Amino acid sequence: MMFIIGFISCLIVIGIIGIVMMPRFGKFFFVKDDSRISFEDTLETIRKNVDTNDKGWFITSEKDYNLTYRKKEKGELPFRLVEFKIGNSNHSYPVNRVFPALATFMPSALAVVEYRDGKVVIYRKNTSLLGRFFSGVIRKVMTKEVPVDMDEILQGAI
Q: Using the predicted structure, report yes or no on whether residue 114 has a pLDDT greater than 80.
A: yes
pLDDT at 3 exceeding the cut of 90: no
Q: Give me the domain span that covers residue 62.
A: 28-153
pLDDT for 52 beyond 70: yes
For residue 107, is the peptide bond before it cis, meaning its omega torsion is within 30 degrees of 0? yes
CATH number at residue 117: 3.30.310.70
Report if residue 23 sits inside a domain.
no
Q: Is the model more confident about 29 or about 148?
A: 148
State residue 5's pLDDT score: 79
Q: Which of 63, 127, 62, 138 is nearest to 93 (CA)?
A: 138
% of the chain surpassing 90 pLDDT: 75
Distances (CA, A) of 127 to 7, 77, 105: 35, 27, 9
Number of domains in the chain: 1
Closest Cα partner for 57 from 95, 97, 106? Answer: 106
Instruction: Tell me, yes or no, whether 55 lies in a domain.
Output: yes
15 part of a folded domain: no
Q: Is residue 1 part of a domain?
A: no
More confident residue, 123 or 6: 123
Stronger pLDDT, 41 or 9, i.e. the higher one? 41
User: Model confidence over 20-46: pLDDT tens digits?
Assistant: 766 666 677 899 999 999 999 999 999
- What tens digit of pLDDT does each residue of 89-112 get? 999 999 999 999 989 888 899 999
21 lies in some domain = no
Q: Global pTM? A: 0.83
Q: Is 6 within a domain? A: no
pLDDT tens digit string along 118-143?
999 999 999 999 899 899 999 999 99
Q: Within a domain: residue 158?
A: no
Is 79 inside any structural domain?
Answer: yes
